[in-house]
Amino acid sequence: MNMQNGNNGRVNGAKQDFDFIWFSRLLNRPVCIGNIRNRLGKLTDLVFRLSEPHPTAVGIYLEHGWGKPTEFIPWEQVVSIDDDAIFVKPPENRSSYPPFTDQSGWILVDQHLMGRTVLDTDGRRVEVVNDVHLLHSKGRMIIVHVDVSFNGFLRKWGMGNIKWIKDRLISWRYVQPLSVEDAVTTDAVSLSVKKGEAMDLPGEDLADVLEVLSGKEQEALFSALDSEKAAETLAHAEPRAKRQIIASLRKERAYTILSELSVPQLADLFSVLPHVERENLMGLLPEKQAVKIERILSEREVTADELISQEFVTLPKEMTVGEALRRIKGLGPQFKAISYIYIVTEEKTLMGVIDLRELVLTEDDTLLEEIMVTSVVEAEEKDTREDLVELFLRYHFRMIPVVDAKDKLLGVIYHNDIIAHGLTGRARI
């Protein structure tokens, strides 16, 4: 069996009364009574009870398929964990163990941890749990680490003999529900975060976190975000989470967050709110913006010029690639979703487009007009929402420019504002 330091439970050659075990090694291992031939089934999952400082195993979960009921083997019935099988005592006074019934404070390793997201508390990006590190000692088993390395992924798929890099273990104390003040446990276990370190995580990931947290925990995390990050997270959240978050906001906080959202994002948010809350928030917006949102929410036809964003980059055709890259680097943090560079005249007439990747891969002394695509897919200012949907579905661009009758560039429309959430969620490219 694997151990963190590789000594398989031995120190200086002496056998120790403990083993470190990877959950992936136990998954699908035969569970038997007495001998290997008397097989109950294969281990489907391990059930743990949340406790401090580490969750403690309470049983083995077996699924049999073919319409047969599940079985739950209490941990005290486990006799031994061998390399080829797990041996358990026979069930008392019956032919099989009782079906599994979930209980408050219980987690299943495969269902609730494997493949789930961890907000790594030392400031790195979001990680994914590829394996769980268990400590088995004197009949007791606890969770001690999760492994977020590629090695865990290989073990999960039966390729544990291949080890590409060093295991990356995160202590269990960082892989538990978000604390509001002290540690607070919930049934939906998979995530942790130190509130001050959430700022660098993508809004999509933070939205996923909010959806599994309870009300107080959700409010604690959201309150730690600045207005821009809060708006980005809110735009990606599911309707239920949107309603919960908005209900907890003070008026001043709500105003600063709403000011960071685009018109389509605001319309999508308001569409899932109760009428009273929608009207209260609408009163915080500039009149011109509120009129646009009301029109989107009504049954009247919405046109492209009401949905455009001004977050795009234009450059002249005479500029070199090197100059363009320097210009882009100096734009500042407000430009987060640059995918294409639009080439325009002094009068803002759209002449061509350059994919940012093409720009980066081209020699610095090349003129932009040499690499721009002149046949630009564009929307007209009075195109309907249905027209825009058709354009995005046909061409699969991340954003599409909107022009007037004289080809003057008015703005852009993001794919996610139209497609991904109906009318919400700006794509992060």
The pLDDT of residue 114 = 85
Q: What angle do CA 267, 270, 275 make, to 5 degrees?
A: 140
Tell me the CA end-to-end span of the chain in Å, nearest whole number.
Answer: 43
- Counting Cα atoms < 13 Å in the Cβ hemisphere of 32 gives 16
Instruction: Give residue 41's region: left, alpha or beta (phi > 0; psi -120 to 50).
Output: left
Q: Cα separations (Å) of 180 from 127, 168, 215?
A: 22, 27, 10
Residue type, 208: D
Contact 366, 318 (CB under 8 A): no
Q: How far apart are CA 86 and CA 79, in angstroms?
A: 8
Cβ-count burial of 343 within 10 angstroms (0-12 exposed, 13-18 middle, 19+ buried)? buried
**Bridge partners (DSSP) listed for residue 71:** 62
Cβ of 9: how many Cβ atoms within 10 Å? 16
Residue 373 above 70 pLDDT?
yes
Q: How far apart are CA 44 and CA 34, in angstroms?
A: 20
**Residues 239-263, mean pLDDT to the nearest whole number:** 87
pLDDT band at 115 (very low <50, low <70, confident <90, very high): confident
**Residues 246-256, mean pLDDT to the nearest whole number:** 87
Q: Mean pLDDT over all residues of the chain?
A: 78
108: its two tokens = 């299943």
pLDDT band at 182 (very low <50, low <70, confident <90, very high): very low
Which of 173 and 379 is assigned the larger pLDDT? 379
Measured N-to-C along each axis, helices 203-212 and 227-236 cross at an angle, to the nearest 10 degrees, of 70
Which of 388 and 10 is assigned the larger pLDDT? 388
Task: Determine phi and psi for 210, rounding to 5 degrees.
Answer: -60, -35
Which of 350 and 158 is assigned the larger pLDDT? 350
